[in-house]
Structure 1
Amino acid sequence: MTSLLRLLTGQLRAAPRTISRETIAITLANGQSVEVLRVRDPRARRIKLSVDERGPRLTLPMRASDIAGQRFVIQHGEWLLAQIASAGTDAPSLQVHVSTSIPLRGHDMPLRWQVARYLRLQLEDDALVVAAPETVNAKALQRALRDFYEGQARADVGRWLPKYLPGLPRAPSRLRYRVMSSQWGSLAPDGALSLDLSLVLAPPAAFEYVLVHELCHLIHADHSRAFWREVEARCPDWRDQREYFRASGRALKAGLRRLIADDK
């Protein structure tokens, strides 16, 4: 009946307001231009500026003007630049036939470009040889690089996993590599193990610590003292590796996203 009255009287329900996103360039007080994702969110109650591995994000309530948002970013310009540097979102993306290296296992691996008819990535003499057409599709190159990183990650875990399996109640049911926003790994109730693909960019000791951490959840599902005893028995320097991720983790994730352009 209520819906019928609205129809007859012309008092139709207002369409629900949705979140809108737009990337804009803002010039800071020092003259530097920064790209910011401007998000209008009907749930937002105040203007908010944040930075993660995907870059700066300006959240505006529906009532806030674009000018107010711009002024807010400029006002917090110094903080924003410091956060961008910390998050590593200013890391260079892959430039076809130009970039000279990519990060891998805590170091920069040299790149050697070759002009070829078809795209192909191959490891040769401690360098990654990229055979590609001069006008190679950027998305195709990003997919190929992601496949390369996943292959390297699988090779690392393949070397480490056998030595830990005898001390576990069971093996992981399956293993997959994902681009994660905040986590480094997760273990599902069915024993499926997920690892962040950016781990292969970290020093091997740090990557192996995350593997050990998730494997120990097969013994203890929580983070109790018993759990940490299991971790320490297998990885005595786990505290050092955890500090590494606290200091460099955001830049690590940002670096991978810049290379493979994964915005999920």
Structure 2
Amino acid sequence: MQRLFRRPSAPATPVIQRDTVRLRLDGAEIDVLRVRDPRARRLKLSVDERGARLTLPLRASLAAGERFLHANRQWLQQQLAHFDGDGLLAPPLVPQQPGALPLRGALLPVRWQDGRFTRIDVDAGGACIQLSARAGDASLRRVLREFYEAQMRADIGRWLPGYLPGLPRAPARLRLKVMSSQWGSLAPDGALALDLALALARPPAFEYVLVHELCHLLQANHSPAFWAEVEARFPHWRQERDYLREEGRRLKATLRQLLQP
């Protein structure tokens, strides 16, 4: 029997739209991320380690957003100066220019070389970055990410065997990625994820995060029993937790500056 009425289709869910708007502040131009978010209820301007962000609700026009942005120029400039003063927005590496590569809580002096392939090596003199003739910014960012991933896997390879005997099983797999707020996570299936910014932290802080997540194989919570497991394996965990609380935003911001265009 042919249906006489059709069930109305569900309305499409509005998607978040992102673009960039240029703004001149104190003689310099900056990029402001403009986000039209269906969940937003009002115009909002915010600043974090990734830069400035203007959020617009669906009903707000682009012109209204521009007026709001210009009306809050002084506040925006003050906030950006605060982040710069804290060292949260580290300058990116510039090929053939003096610079430093953050690694394991230190800044390694960088020297540049021409070569057939783009690669990074660490020796007694610091970091040697070899660039091919065709290497661009994207190639350098890709090699930087691969370098940090390799350094982290080497560290984990040294530390993990010492902790496995006291665990019910090893992590199912390991993923290294850029994380906005967390330092690590352990999925119910045993998959371990760690923040790539840990490559920039001092090694004991990185090792503490690894131990923290491994202990979730024993206690899937943050109960006193969980912290007792951490304490038994890493007695100085409080110092490293405090270090990450103090330095975390700077470390994450530095990584983003190095890896993002």
Opposite residue 246 of structure 2, the aligned amino acid is A
The more displaced of 126-135 and 227-236 is 126-135
Opposite residue 244 of structure 1, the aligned amino acid is Y
Partner of 2:20: 23
Opposite residue 235 of structure 1, the aligned amino acid is F
The more displaced of 102-111 and 119-128 is 119-128
TM-score scaled by structure 2? 0.86
Q: How does 1:27-46 map to 2 (within 5 A)?
A: 27-28=24-25, 33-46=29-42
Q: Does 1:177 align with 2:176?
A: yes
Give 2:53's match in structure 1, choosing from 43, 52, 57: 57
Please list the CA deviations of residues 146-181 of structure 1 after superposition, one character each: whole Å capped at 9, or x if unmatched: 111111101111111111111112111222211111
Partner of 1:157: 156
Partner of 1:108: 107
CA distance 1:43–1:175, change in 2 (3 Å): closer
5+ residue gaps, structure 1, are 4-13
Between the aligned partners of 2:98 and 2:68, the Cα distance in structure 1 is: 35
Opposite residue 17 of structure 2, the aligned amino acid is S
Between the aligned partners of 1:254 and 1:2, the Cα distance in structure 2 is: 56
Opposite residue 30 of structure 2, the aligned amino acid is V
Between the aligned partners of 1:255 and 1:2, the Cα distance in structure 2 is: 58
Q: What displacement does 1:215 show?
A: 0.5
Between the aligned partners of 1:149 and 1:95, the Cα distance in structure 2 is: 18
**Secondary structure of residue in 1 paired with 2:72:** helix
Q: Does 1:260 align with 2:256?
A: no
Partner of 1:10: none
Is the 8 Å Cα contact of residues 43 and 65 (structure 2) preserved in structure 1? no
Q: What displacement does 1:75 show?
A: 4.6
Opposite residue 242 of structure 2, the aligned amino acid is E
The more displaced of 227-236 and 57-66 is 57-66
Is the 8 Å Cα contact of residues 18 and 35 (structure 2) preserved in structure 1? yes
TM-score scaled by structure 1? 0.85
CA distance 1:193–1:160, change in 2 (3 Å): same
Please list the CA deviations of residues 177-201 of structure 1 after superposition, one character each: whole Å capped at 9, or x if unmatched: 1111121111111111111111010
Partner of 1:143: 142
C-alpha RMSD over aligned residues = 2.7
Is the 8 Å Cα contact of residues 19 and 41 (structure 1) preserved in structure 2? yes
Between the aligned partners of 1:241 and 1:55, the Cα distance in structure 2 is: 27
Between the aligned partners of 1:114 and 1:83, the Cα distance in structure 2 is: 33
Find runs of 4+ consecutive structure 1 residues off by over 3 angstroms: 14-19, 30-34, 83-87
Q: What displacement does 1:204 show?
A: 0.5
Is the 8 Å Cα contact of residues 53 and 87 (structure 1) preserved in structure 2? no
Is the 8 Å Cα contact of residues 198 and 256 (structure 1) preserved in structure 2? yes
Is the 8 Å Cα contact of residues 121 and 130 (structure 1) preserved in structure 2? yes
**Secondary structure of residue in 2 paired with 1:76:** helix
Q: What displacement does 1:15 show?
A: 8.5
Between the aligned partners of 1:138 and 1:247, the Cα distance in structure 2 is: 31
Between the aligned partners of 2:213 and 2:125, the Cα distance in structure 1 is: 30
Q: How does 1:76-225 map to 2 (within 5 A)?
A: 76-77=75-76, 78-83=78-83, 85-86=85-86, 88=88, 90-225=89-224
Please list the CA deviations of residues 79-114 of structure 1 after superposition, one character each: whole Å capped at 9, or x if unmatched: 3432465582x2111211214221000000122211
Partner of 1:11: none
**Secondary structure of residue in 2 paired with 1:189:** coil
Between the aligned partners of 2:236 and 2:52, the Cα distance in structure 1 is: 34
Is the 8 Å Cα contact of residues 60 and 69 (structure 1) preserved in structure 2? no
Count of matched residue pairs: 253
Partner of 1:8: none
Task: State the identity as a percent.
Answer: 53
Is the 8 Å Cα contact of residues 51 and 87 (structure 1) preserved in structure 2? no
Between the aligned partners of 1:43 and 1:137, the Cα distance in structure 2 is: 38
